[in-house]
């Protein structure tokens, strides 16, 4: 429970471009940067190109000074955190042009964003990060419990704050070194204060001091109370059903921030009609399979298994990246663990030509198929079922320890 003093802190806090932190100013800067040029993302995690980082950093309210020869996105914790928030809001999407992943703003989503007042924008960003900010999007270990991590961080900072004499001393602190982008975001959201230290040759961001803010303690406390175990499960269930939520914390925080009335609205992607052509690889063997968009992932699974002469007696899962950048796992219907493959159509997949997904079959033997979407052809009335268009290479035997009579060797 909040103390009367904490409740008063929340009620008195104004939300503006630079209050309680600089998140709104910095986020708007990144939106303008993305809108003003073509940005080709790089690496397997599709992050910002190195040549753009110094310019973005210079535009930040509190730039990070580095002395690194080849600084990557993760070298700039402020940019790394800001990019994570951008991806999970859905305001930016990835389009492939000639196979190249390009970062683009979603104009329909941006129209909704521009219609929000500063309080609504602040809490849209905060809630999205705290509840859906899966770090795997930026190539970290995949921790999506940002609310719990922020609460733990605040509790780990003593009343007198943390002081560090240099980079080496700072890097010994597990609190700081394991997730610097979280520290940077907490500063931008005004939950903590951070004093930058003197940069050192060959080293990354140097922090000399970290202090809690009473506003951060109070705000995260309310958010934790709102997201009880039961509420968290209900929230997760709705996400698995494809619902995009931006107001889970609103009932608890609106009494302190009455300006939070509206929430961000994202356009619902329409299924893409056509004939999907996938290249499915297992080791050196591969099959080119065409499947109508109205069929399901379950139909694709059985065609893949048939194409490599595997039986269908085991469970499986498909894994691919959502439009927000996190991994989605679609499971065998028998698992009853949503989403399930016989309820997800091919046309609903957030894939563009050049995108890939993984098909994992038989969790004991762990057969892993690589699936690349090569193209989407116009609908073909003559092809109503999955069809193997090409077959190259001999697939491995499903049960190599069995002889031809079905007995163990």
- How much is the pLDDT for 268? 85
- List the helix and strand counts (H, then E) for the chain: 14, 13
Contact 257, 10 (CB under 8 A): yes
Measuring CA to CA, which residue among 141, 34, 37 is closest to residue 89? Answer: 34
Measuring CA to CA, which residue among 320, 319, 404 is closest to residue 363? Answer: 319
Cα-based distances in Å from 93 to 72, 106, 109, 276, 392: 21, 6, 10, 21, 34
Peptide bond into 20 cis (omega under 30): yes
Query: Exposed, middle or buried: residue 174 (CB in 10 Å: 0-12, 13-18, 19+)?
Result: exposed
Contact 88, 132 (CB under 8 A): yes
Contacts of 32 (CB under 8 A, 6+ apart): none
Cα-based distances in Å from 362 to 310, 369, 395: 10, 11, 16
- How much is the pLDDT for 16? 95
If phi over 0 gives left and psi between -120 and 50 gives alpha, with beta otherwise, what is residue 246?
alpha
- How much is the pLDDT for 234? 75
Contacts of 81 (CB under 8 A, 6+ apart): 181, 182, 184, 185, 188
If phi over 0 gives left and psi between -120 and 50 gives alpha, with beta otherwise, what is residue 233?
alpha
Distance CA 127, CA 150 (A): 12
- How much is the pLDDT for 316? 97
Sheet of 275-282, strands arranged across: 327-331, 316-321, 356-361, 367-377, 275-282, 285-292, 387-392
Domain ranges of the chain: 4-253, 275-392
- How much is the pLDDT for 407? 41
pLDDT by residue, tens only, the chain of 409 residues: 899 999 999 999 999 999 999 999 999 999 999 999 999 999 988 999 999 999 999 999 999 999 898 899 999 999 999 999 999 999 999 999 988 999 999 999 999 999 999 999 999 999 999 999 988 899 887 666 899 999 999 999 999 999 999 999 998 888 887 789 999 999 999 999 999 999 999 999 999 999 999 999 999 999 999 988 677 777 777 776 667 888 999 999 999 999 999 999 998 888 999 999 999 999 999 999 999 999 999 999 999 999 999 999 999 999 999 988 888 999 999 987 889 999 999 999 999 999 999 999 999 999 999 999 999 999 999 999 999 999 999 999 998 875 555 443 3
- Collapsing DSSP to helix, strand or coil, 279 comes out as strand
Q: Find the angle CA(232)-CA(234)-CA(238) to the nearest 5 degrees.
A: 115
Sign of the CA dihedral running 150, 195, 167, 169: negative
Question: What are the helix (H) ranges across 282-334?
Answer: 297-307
**Residue 114 neighbours by CB distance under 10 Å:** 9
Question: What are the helix (H) ranges across 107-194?
Answer: 107-114, 118-132, 146-156, 167-171, 174-177, 180-188
How big is the chain by its Cα radius of gyration, in Å? Answer: 24
CATH number for 275-392: choose from 3.40.50.300, 3.90.1300.10, 3.30.420.10, 3.10.290.30: 3.10.290.30
**Residue 360 neighbours by CB distance under 10 Å:** 15
| DSSP annotation of 24 | H
Cα-based distances in Å from 335 to 257, 344, 402: 42, 15, 28
Sign of the CA dihedral running 165, 169, 171, 173: negative
Tokens at residue 211, please?
A: 């202090």
């Amino acid at each position: 429970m909040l103390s009367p003093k904490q409740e008063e802190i929340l009620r008195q806090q104004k939300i503006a471009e630079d209050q309680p932190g600089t998140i709104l100013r910095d986020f708007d800067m990144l939106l303008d940067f993305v809108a003003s040029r073509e940005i080709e993302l790089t690496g397997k995690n599709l992050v910002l190109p190195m040549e753009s980082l110094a310019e973005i950093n210079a535009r930040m309210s509190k730039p990070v000074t580095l002395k690194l020869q080849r600084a990557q996105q993760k070298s700039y914790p402020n940019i790394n955190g800001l990019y994570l928030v951008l991806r999970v809001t859905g305001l930016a999407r990835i389009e492939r042009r000639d196979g190249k992943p390009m970062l683009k703003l979603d104009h329909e989503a941006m129209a909704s964003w521009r219609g929000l007042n500063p309080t609504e924008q602040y809490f849209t960003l905060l809630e999205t990060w705290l509840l859906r900010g899966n770090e795997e999007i930026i190539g970290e270990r995949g921790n999506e419990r940002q609310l719990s991590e922020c609460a733990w961080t605040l509790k780990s900072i003593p009343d007198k704050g943390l002081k560090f004499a240099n980079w080496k001393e700072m890097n010994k602190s597990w609190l700081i070194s394991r997730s610097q982008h979280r520290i940077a975001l907490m500063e931008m959201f005004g939950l903590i204060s951070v004093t930058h230290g003197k940069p050192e040759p060959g080293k990354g961001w140097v922090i000399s001091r970290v202090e809690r803010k009473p506003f951060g303690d109070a705000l995260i406390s309310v958010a934790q109370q709102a997201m009880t175990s039961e509420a968290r499960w209900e929230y997760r269930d709705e996400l698995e059903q494809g619902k995009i939520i931006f107001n889970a914390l609103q009932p608890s925080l609106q009494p302190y921030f009455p300006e939070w009335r509206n929430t961000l609205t994202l356009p619902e992607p329409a299924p893409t009609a056509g004939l999907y052509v996938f290249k499915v690889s297992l080791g050196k063997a591969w099959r080119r399979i065409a499947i109508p968009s109205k069929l399901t992932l379950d139909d694709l699974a059985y065609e893949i298994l048939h194409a490599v002469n595997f039986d269908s007696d085991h469970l499986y899962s498909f894994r691919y990246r959502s439009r927000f950048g996190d991994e989605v796992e679609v499971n065998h219907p028998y698992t009853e663990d949503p989403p399930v493959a016989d309820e997800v159509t091919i046309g609903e997949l957030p894939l563009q030509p050049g995108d890939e997904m993984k098909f994992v079959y038989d969790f004991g033997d762990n057969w892993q198929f690589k699936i690349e979407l090569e193209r989407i052809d116009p609908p073909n009335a003559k092809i109503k079922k999955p069809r193997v268009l090409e077959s190259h290479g001999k697939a491995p035997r499903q049960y190599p320890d069995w002889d031809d009579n079905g007995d163990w060797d």
